[in-house]
Chain A
Amino acid sequence: MAIMLKLDDINVFYGAIHAIKGISLEVDQGEIVTLIGANGAGKSTTLRTVSGLLKPKTGTISFEDKTISGQPAHKIVEYGISQVPEGRRIFANMTVMENLELGAYIRTDKNGIKSDLERVFKHFPRLAERKKQEAGTLSGGEQQMLAMGRALMSSPRLLLLDEPSMGLAPLLIKEIFEIIKDINKAGTTILLVEQNANMALSIANRAYVLETGKITLSGDAKELSASEDVRKAYLGG
């Protein structure tokens, strides 16, 4: 399958802190790839570097054969990459509808926006019922849905998800992961960052394990979840 996203020997620093130490990874078109690892391993840093919020000091990132590293975040959205940030980061003082409209900020195709809005409401019927509600008053789960819906409104070919399960009840996590699978089936490639390795490995095609800024393991998600090392370190035995 065609390689969609390729990170080639990326190094990222926060001042003097060397957070990402030479990471290379690939995401093929149509896949769900997950990046798992403990707190502070550098998962969010990796995603934020792909979406342009951080610049790699060395290394290149390419998307659909175009080099995107070095571009500002607002340009990278235009290439077809959309990020759901860690902690949701919805615009709490705006309505649900305004949040979704901002998701479609780069677009001018009215009909396309309309049909994507319908698609978002189909994935997340609860958002449709709350269009006019101020986003800050949504429940945690609804806020996660809004953050995902907002990201889908730019009609991305690659969706970056940073810990969608964070702070949610187990039942809701299952629901969200079902929706992630649906979004993927409908044609969106997904790079999923999770601490909930069990869940992530259960829906992913492939996985990378990140430890203090380095990839230590990678491979087929099923094989990894069966591997002794991974079970011990991330799946609670």
Chain B
Amino acid sequence: MGIMDQFLQQLINGISLGSIYALIALGYTMVYGIIKLINFAHGDIYMVGAYIGFFCITIMNWPVLPALLVSMLLTGILGMLIERFAYRPLRSAPRISVLITAIGVSFFLEYTMMYFVTPQPRTFPSLLDDAAYHIGPFIINNQQIMIFAITIILMAILTYIVQYTKVGKAMRAVSFDTETAQLMGINSNRIISVTFGIGSALAAAAGVLVGIYYNSIDPLMGIMPGLKAFVAAVLGGIGILPGAAAGGIILGIIEALVSGFISSTFRDAAAFAILILVLLFKPSGLLGKNTNEKV
């Protein structure tokens, strides 16, 4: 393979991986935008989503799409429950208490899952045949096509909700100024709950897609992608939706290029080097304004 072909191939791989990061990062950034919480349990929510999808496919024998939708629904509800019982009671508590609680929720999800599903990795059934297509200079396989398609559809739906629906406008209002949003008659608690629901559902979709892409899931699978998605959210500008999407894709591409051209051992280091560089040179992120625009 020529170096150009290899570059293009890593680009495809990077966009696939980056789509997953982007879906997780969107939830991170939405939750941060609305209650200024770095929800460290978000990566574990993604893991739970992957397991729900796994059981739908293996035990219930469902095809991918219903499994994906049911996983998104149930994981969305889980996210809302976590918000209701772990975070809402701390609404007026110091930020650090909520952060520590988020870490607690993260461990709780990881070890509860280990108890019920064992720490052993599970093999995700391969649902699509491994056919690959040559499109111009690119080689793209079924799994990748599915990841692109689902990511684009979900992002389009999210954009529609946030920009044009009543609940989406309420989400933006609560993010911008919770108190004034309440003066409009917006029940901010309900909107925060919906935000957790949507963010968690997107993470669940990422979890199921990763299962299909890498064929393996385990109860600690959320830790690394959770951190990476956090980096992606910061890279794009935390609290900014298009920033999270762009940050995820960029991070995925950088990781793929680093593993392809340097060594895959430097992959993770590259991600965190980016975090440090962003924090040093543009803490508000690529799309961040100084005026701190949110959601």
Contacts and interface: CB of A to CB of B under 8 A. Distances in A.
Interface of A: 51-53, 72-74, 77-78, 82-83, 85, 89, 91-94, 98, 101-103, 105-106, 136, 150, 154
Nearest to B166: A105
A75 to B, nearest CB: 8
A83 B169 contact: no
A103 B293 contact: no
A162 B188 CA distance: 22
A91 B185 contact: no
Interface of B: 166, 169-170, 172-173, 176-177, 179-188, 291, 293-294
A89 B185 contact: no
A82 B183 contact: yes
A105 B182 contact: no
Contact of B172 (A78, A89, A91): A91
A98 B187 CA distance: 18
B173 A94 contact: yes
Given A98-B169, A105-B166, A77 B180 contact: no
B185 A83 contact: no
B161 to A, nearest CB: 14
Contacts of A94: 169, 172-173, 176
A15 B176 CA distance: 25
A154 B185 contact: yes
A93 B291 CA distance: 10
A93 B293 CA distance: 7
Contact of A51 (B170, B183, B186): B183
Contacts of A82: 183
Contacts of A83: 183
A91 B188 contact: no
8 contacts: A53-B183, A72-B182, A73-B182, A77-B184, A89-B180, A91-B180, A98-B169, A103-B184
A84 B188 CA distance: 18
Nearest to B183: A83
Contacts of B294: 93
A92 B187 contact: no
Contact of A102 (B184, B187, B188): B184
A149 to B, nearest CB: 13
B184 A53 contact: no
A179 B88 CA distance: 41
A91 B185 CA distance: 15
A91 B177 contact: yes
A104 to B, nearest CB: 9
Give the top 7 A-B pairs by smallest Cβ distance, nearest first: A106-B185, A77-B185, A73-B182, A89-B180, A105-B184, A102-B184, A74-B187
Contacts of A74: 182, 184-188
B169 A89 contact: no
The residue among A72, A73, A82, A85 with the most chain B CB atoms within 10 A of its own CB is A73
A105 B186 contact: yes
B169 A102 contact: yes
Contacts of A136: 291
Given A85-B179, A94-B176, 7 more contacts: A72-B182, A89-B180, A92-B176, A93-B172, A102-B170, A102-B186, A105-B166
A91 B180 CA distance: 9
B176 A77 contact: no
A4 B70 CA distance: 51
Contacts of A73: 179, 182-183
A129 to B, nearest CB: 22
A91 B173 contact: yes
